[in-house]
């Protein structure tokens, strides 16, 4: 099984139902494993509902990041991998030969999968894009595509979100945008983005460094960055002078309550304390969420502050996003959005599809599947729950 996500439009986990596949609820020899392409909830969210003996496969960094996040995020889950996906390294699960391909995506450690069994070949795009920090992975895939693919399952998240000939700004474009905003800001720059969007955190870090500022992260982001296991990802440790850890008051309470306060001992040398916030504000960029505002308020560190929203603006419609925007308005703090998609534009999807030239292309992960036949060759539309012979 390739991914078992909670659909983004599902009401909640309790009411979401499992697909009718043998082996999910009761053991069955026909279900050999679930491969988790990356750590986004729409790719693993239903796994807590399946019987626990099913082996899971995922990237080692995905496993580590999910474990780190599960200590902080409500509803977070740590999954144990029986197999690790390694880019370019073939692996076998029963009759299936699988080659994972690391891809560029807003979720870290994300893979497309090339799968062969019984003389037939399938390619699963997973979630991917070409305009992120690892865009070269997409170009490599287009230059050296897997050959003789019978069926390609290709994501189409962008369809309907932007015009079919339009492209998204790159992470490099965003870095320039952040740099300009940071230079124009006299006080603390507060960036609301997901700590698990590692590409974006790197973009913000690079812009902060160029602006002579230090990136301030909370314990959750510090743990996620450390869990990547990549030497090239900025994190609060020696060798990264522009990263510091600030633990907000309510997070400190939470750490103690959950018995995990010793977790942050290792950041002792890199901490920034409440009484330092005010003086250093103009030299800081903080990875920020709305509830951290009270810490900055208490520390009198909000003069000249600016908030930049760097995630999907749909999250501003209600809940914490809407509350933050209203809070900024009340306080007279400038608020703007600086973001780019985690998914490929239509022109990039076209390049991928024409490089791989599958016998059949089946749209997945999209609200725009009816546009597929006019945009790509050899499209077969499949219904949820419908079995397809390869
Ligand atoms: Zn994703
Ligand atoms: Zn997804």
Question: What pLDDT does residue 164 have?
Answer: 84
Contacts of 311-317 with C-beta under 8 Å, sequence gap 24+, read: 311/192, 311/193, 311/194, 311/197, 311/339, 312/339, 313/337, 313/339
Residue with tokens 């399946």: 50
Based on the domain organization, do 144 and 182 belong to the same domain?
Answer: no
Based on the domain organization, do 151 and 182 belong to the same domain?
Answer: no
Based on the domain organization, do 44 and 150 belong to the same domain?
Answer: yes
Question: What pLDDT does residue 105 have?
Answer: 98
Question: What pLDDT does residue 75 have?
Answer: 79
For ligand 1, an ion, list residues with CB under 5 A: 40, 107, 127
Closest CA to 150 of 377, 360, 356: 360
Based on the domain organization, do 213 and 148 belong to the same domain?
Answer: no
For ligand 2, an ion, list residues with CB under 5 A: 40, 42, 127
Q: What is the largest CA-CA distance in the chain?
A: 67
CATH number at residue 235: 3.40.50.10710
84-85-86 Cα angle (round to 5): 110
Question: What pLDDT does residue 356 have?
Answer: 98
Q: Tell me if 10 is assigned to some domain.
A: no
Question: What are the distances in angstroms from CA 37 to CA 9, 133, 202?
Answer: 20, 19, 22
Residue range of the domain that includes 103: 34-164+342-375
CA of 261 to the centre of ligand 2 (A): 33
pTM of the shown model: 0.95
CATH number at residue 88: 3.60.15.10
CA of 127 to the centre of ligand 1 (A): 5
Side-chain half-sphere of 81: how many Cα atoms within 13 Å? 21
How far is Cα 156 from Cα 371, in angstroms, rounded to an integer? 10
Q: Tell me if 63 is assigned to some domain.
A: yes
Question: What pLDDT does residue 12 have?
Answer: 84
Based on the domain organization, do 223 and 262 belong to the same domain?
Answer: yes
Based on the domain organization, do 217 and 353 belong to the same domain?
Answer: no
CA of 129 to the centre of ligand 1 (A): 10
Q: Tell me if 76 is assigned to some domain.
A: yes
Based on the domain organization, do 283 and 260 belong to the same domain?
Answer: yes
CA of 341 to the centre of ligand 1 (A): 10
Question: What pLDDT does residue 377 have?
Answer: 98
> Where is 124: in which H helix or E strand?
strand 120-124
Query: What is the number of the ligand closest to the CA of 197?
Result: 1
Closest CA to 306 of 325, 333, 326, 346: 333
CA of 40 to the centre of ligand 2 (A): 6
CA of 262 to the centre of ligand 1 (A): 32
Question: What pLDDT does residue 327 have?
Answer: 97
Question: What pLDDT does residue 13 have?
Answer: 87
List helix spans (H) across the chain.
41-44, 60-70, 135-143, 171-184, 198-210, 219-227, 249-257, 274-280, 293-298, 319-331, 346-356, 372-375
Q: Tell me if 386 is assigned to some domain.
A: no
How far is Cα 263 from Cα 147, in angstroms, rounded to an integer? 47
CA of 273 to the centre of ligand 2 (A): 37
Question: What pLDDT does residue 335 have?
Answer: 98
Question: What pLDDT does residue 318 have?
Answer: 92
Based on the domain organization, do 188 and 228 belong to the same domain?
Answer: yes
SS3 category, 117 = strand
| Consecutive 10-residue averages of pLDDT for the chain (390 residues) | 90 88 94 98 96 96 97 91 98 98 98 98 98 97 98 96 88 98 98 97 98 98 96 94 96 94 94 97 98 97 98 93 97 97 96 98 96 97 92
Based on the domain organization, do 78 and 123 belong to the same domain?
Answer: yes
Contacts of 48-52 with C-beta under 8 Å, sequence gap 24+, read: 48/13, 48/77, 49/13, 49/16, 49/18, 49/24, 50/4, 50/18, 50/24, 50/25, 51/23, 51/24, 51/25, 51/26, 51/27
Supply the Cα-derived Rg of the chain in whole angstroms: 22
Q: Tell me if 99 is assigned to some domain.
A: yes
Side-chain half-sphere of 390: how many Cα atoms within 13 Å? 16
Question: Residue 335 corresponds to which tokens in the numbers above?
Answer: 């608020």
Based on the domain organization, do 124 and 273 belong to the same domain?
Answer: no
Q: Secondary structure of the chain: what % helix, strand, coil (to 5)?
A: 35, 20, 45
CA of 342 to the centre of ligand 1 (A): 7
Based on the domain organization, do 264 and 197 belong to the same domain?
Answer: yes
Side-chain half-sphere of 3: how many Cα atoms within 13 Å? 22
Based on the domain organization, do 351 and 307 belong to the same domain?
Answer: no
């Amino acid at each position: 099984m390739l991914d078992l996500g909670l659909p983004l439009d599902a009401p909640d986990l309790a009411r979401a139902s499992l697909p009718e596949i043998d082996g999910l609820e009761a053991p069955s020899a026909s279900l050999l494993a679930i491969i988790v392409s990356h750590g986004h909830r729409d790719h693993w969210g239903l796994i807590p509902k399946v019987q626990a003996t099913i082996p899971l496969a995922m990237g080692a960094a995905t496993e580590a990041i999910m474990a780190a996040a599960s200590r902080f995020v409500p509803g977070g889950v740590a999954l144990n991998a029986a197999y690790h996906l390694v880019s370019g390294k073939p692996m076998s699960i029963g009759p299936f030969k699988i080659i994972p391909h690391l891809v560029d995506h807003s979720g870290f450690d994300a893979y497309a999968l090339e799968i062969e069994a019984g003389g037939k070949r399938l390619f699963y795009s997973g979630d991917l894009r070409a305009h992120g920090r690892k865009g070269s992975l997409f170009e490599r895939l287009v230059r050296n595509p897997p050959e003789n693919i019978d069926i390609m399952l290709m994501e189409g998240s962008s369809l309907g979100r932007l015009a079919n000939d339009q492209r998204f700004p790159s992470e490099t474009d965003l870095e320039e945008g952040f740099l300009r905003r940071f230079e124009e800001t006299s006080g603390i720059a507060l960036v609301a983005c997901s700590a698990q969007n590692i590409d974006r955190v790197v973009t913000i870090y690079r812009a902060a460094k160029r602006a002579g500022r230090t990136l301030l992260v909370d314990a959750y982001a510090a743990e996620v960055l450390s869990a990547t296991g990549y030497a090239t990802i900025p994190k609060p440790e020696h060798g990264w002078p522009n990263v510091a850890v600030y633990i907000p008051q309510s997070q400190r309470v939470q750490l103690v309550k959950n018995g995990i306060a010793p977790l942050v001992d290792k950041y002792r040398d890199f901490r920034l304390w409440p009484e330092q916030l005010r003086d250093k504000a103009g030299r800081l960029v903080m990875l920020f969420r709305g509830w951290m505002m009270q810490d900055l308020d208490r520390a009198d560190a909000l003069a000249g502050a600016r908030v930049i929203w760097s995630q999907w603006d749909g999250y501003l419609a209600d809940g914490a996003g809407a509350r933050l925007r209203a809070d900024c308005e009340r306080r007279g703090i400038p608020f703007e959005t600086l973001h780019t998609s985690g998914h490929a534009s239509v022109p990039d999807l076209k390049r991928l599809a024409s490089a791989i030239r599958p016998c059949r292309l089946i749209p997945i992960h999209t609200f725009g599947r009816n546009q597929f036949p006019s945009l790509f060759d050899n499209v077969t539309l499949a219904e949820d729950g419908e079995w397809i012979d390869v």
